[in-house]
A and B are shown apart, each in its own frame.
Chain A
Amino acid sequence: MAVSALRRAAGRFAAAGPIQLFAAPGPRFRDRSEDLTLRPELRLTSSPRHASILLVAGPVPAECEKALARVHDELPRPRVTVRWGGGERVERSGPRLSRGDSPGAPVVVPEGEDPVPALLEAGRRLVRGERPSEPELLPDEPPWPWRGQGPYGQGGEGMMGGRPYGRPLAMTAEDLRDGLALDRLELALGPFFPPLPPGLVLQVALQGDVIQDVDVARAPFVQPLPDVFGRALREAVPAEALETARVRLLLRRAARVLRAAGAGALADRGLGLAVAPATDPAAVGRFRALVRRGGSLRALRGSGSRSGVDVGTRVEGWLEQAERALARARRTGPDERTGPAADLRALGPPFDGDAEPAEALEGLGDTLPGLEWGEAALLVAGLRLAPYGGGEEARP
């Protein structure tokens, strides 16, 4: 009696707080799921271990379904999956992800709808105990069972000879930093690793925290650019709309790097400016001053250097370009239009400054080795890696 009353009280208490969710964005849904960080009722976690809801946003391709199941099972119980805008394929794969039409079947939200009410409802029902936890999708057994061979049960001869739990022991290898050899850890990161663009799978070899080797095992999901950039390649578009879209893109990029650097509050502020219906130039100026004063840029100086330009300089450059673009948007008349551009690069920042997604992706294998993991994450956060879809063309 007392226990259940206590449990109900705890449930009410937990339901009143923000709902913790882990987002696994699919194609076209990176920005939309990023924007959920601005909702005070939700808290996006960077690890599924702290979440009670798995938000699968967008049509995640079938090849990533296994990775998604792994992420799903890493959520502690009770947990629930919310599928947002998956399209027809998700309706078909839904039962596969939830093992039949059990009461724990995922909540499905159509693409055009705001997922927040459904997320809140699912989360609150879960903590109140009105909704059962979803079962595991993967078998609850070690992926490589202990074989118990050898003098230490390591499954082989000698101290380092076996494969304990099926994985070979890390062995020392040449080191890039100072020649002192460390064990070389090899792992696959992604496709739902928050610091990386969704869909990107990196095969990484680490010694300590220094990256020794990087291989792109899977390219990121397509994330189309705002419609106006695609139209600007084909026809004349209103200059003001183009500049506003540019400001949003630049602010979003800066926010992404700031978030990767751990400056979450600043990132939220930048993202808030990026999604605001009308961006105020004074607000962008204030944000830029705040970023500069707050020491975040100083902390980023010298890290994630790419062809001599560090992440701090890049972020400052984007904010400066955003301010300038806003000023241009103010100056242009309502019917001023820009002619069709030859390619994205001709559209100016942020497209003219750095490599195209395909090039940048290919370059990862050369730029990341030798960097410490934190720096590499900052560098990746500032790169354009996700393809826009349809080659050069930015498709709406």
Chain B
Amino acid sequence: MLALVTLSVLFLFVASVGVLLQVVLDRLDPRRLTEPQKTPFLGGGEPATHAWSRYHVRYYSMTLLFIAFEMEMMFMYPWAVVYVAEGMKALVEMGMFLAILSVGIVYGWREGIFRWQ
């Protein structure tokens, strides 16, 4: 029971210190940013759109292609060793694996990965 009370007091103390640091000190801080200071500096101009913008990761298609073919190879080398012993079962497993990977390649194809410029 005493442990529980101690823990609750400790918890309350930590929580109130957290709140104090977050709220009270933030209000008192003379260097606190005001709302006009939070906007980007545009020489007096204002942004018309929000700065939450999506950026096109241009290398993503290359990454997709790399992962698709690299994973294939990673798996195929050990597979080639056990294929003779395992036979048909290994072939079916590899077929499933390649089918899943090829979905990624087909998707990339649709996105124009293979149109090299």
A binding-site residues for B, Cβ under 8 Å: 24, 47-49, 64, 66-68, 70-71, 73-74, 76-77, 136, 138-143, 163-165, 167-170, 172, 180-194, 196, 201, 208
Contact = CB atoms under 8 A, between A and B. Distances in A.
Interface in B21-46: 30-31, 34-37, 39, 41-46
B35 A164 contact: no
B49 A168 contact: yes
B44 to A, nearest CB: 3
B50 interface: yes
- Central interface residue in B30, B54, B58, by most chain A CB within 10 Å: B54
A183 B45 CA distance: 20
Given A47-B41, A188-B42, A193-B42, A167 B34 contact: no
Nearest to A68: B44
B51 interface: yes
A76 B56 CA distance: 34
B77 interface: no
Nearest to A139: B35
Contact of B50 (A47, A168, A180): A168
B115 to A, nearest CB: 11
A111 B51 CA distance: 40
B42 to A, nearest CB: 5
B53 interface: yes
Contacts of B58: 180
Nearest to B30: A77
- Central interface residue in B36, B48, B56, by most chain A CB within 10 Å: B36
Interface of B: 30-31, 34-37, 39, 41-56, 58
Contact of B47 (A167, A183, A192): A167
Given A48-B41, A67-B44, A77-B31, 7 more contacts: A168-B49, A170-B50, A170-B54, A183-B54, A186-B49, A187-B46, A191-B44
- Central interface residue in B31, B37, B44, by most chain A CB within 10 Å: B44
Contacts of B43: 67, 71, 189-194, 196
B47 A185 contact: yes
B40 to A, nearest CB: 8
Contacts of B44: 24, 64, 66-68, 70-71, 190-193
Nearest to A201: B45
B45 A167 contact: no
Contacts of B45: 67, 187-191, 193, 201
18 contacts: A76-B31, A138-B35, A138-B36, A141-B35, A143-B39, A168-B48, A170-B50, A182-B53, A183-B54, A185-B47, A187-B45, A188-B42, A188-B46, A189-B43, A190-B45, A191-B45, A196-B43, A208-B55
Contacts of A138: 35-36
A206 to B, nearest CB: 9
B50 A74 contact: no
B53 A73 contact: no
B65 to A, nearest CB: 16
Nearest to A140: B34
Contacts of B36: 70, 73-74, 136, 138, 140
Contacts of A194: 43
B31 A187 contact: no
B52 A170 contact: yes
Contacts of B56: 180-182, 208
A188 B49 CA distance: 10
A165 B50 contact: yes
